[in-house]
Amino acid sequence: GPKVLQIPSHQIIDMGQMVTLNCDPVSNHLYFYWYKQILGQQMEFLVNFYNGKVMEKSKLFKDQFSVERPDGSYFTLKIQPTALEDSAVYFCASSLDRNYAEQFFGPGTRLTVL
């Protein structure tokens, strides 16, 4: 079936550094999402993105977070600067349209902030 890829699978960085998480969504999909999952907890919505714009974001999407998808390349989540509480697995998802609603998830990037 359709696959969403995420690079890297693991990332360890020091607190205060910048990190960029990369997502390669399903090729014809138009809507993109980031979710955060702290170990052992549920996945929580961060942000969705369409046509170059953030459409909706949650309280978890702090000012230090930003997303973009320049020229149809990777859909990225940048955290600058990182904090200890940013340690989590970040899942990217994409969907073909808004109303059909089925989101395909990537394998996640495990981010550890030391």
Partner 1 sequence: GEQVEQRPPHLSVREGDSAFITCTYTDPNSYYFFWYKQEPGASLQLLMKVFSSTEINEGQGFTVLLNKKDKRLSLNLTAAHPGDSAAYFCAVSATSGSFNKLTFGAGTRLAVCP
Site string for partner 1, 29-48 (x = CB under 8 A): --x-x-x-----xxxxx--x
Nearer to partner 1, 33 or 74 (CB): 33
- Smallest distance from partner 1 to CB 35, Å: 8
Nearer to partner 1, 13 or 96 (CB): 96
101 forms part of the interface with partner 1 (CB under 8 A) = yes
> Measured over all CA atoms, what is the biggest interatomic distance in the chain, rounded to whole angstroms?
40
Assess contact for 66 and 90: CB atoms under 8 A: no
Nearer to partner 1, 25 or 106 (CB): 106
What is the rounded CA–CA span in Å between residue 58 and residue 50?
A: 16
Assess contact for 103 and 26: CB atoms under 8 A: no
65 forms part of the interface with partner 1 (CB under 8 A) = no
Q: Which residues contact 98 (CB under 8 A, 6 or more apart)?
A: 31, 50
The three-class DSSP label of residue 27 is coil
- Interface ranges with partner 1 (CB under 8 A): 4, 31, 33, 35, 41-45, 48, 50, 55-56, 58, 91, 95, 98-99, 101-108
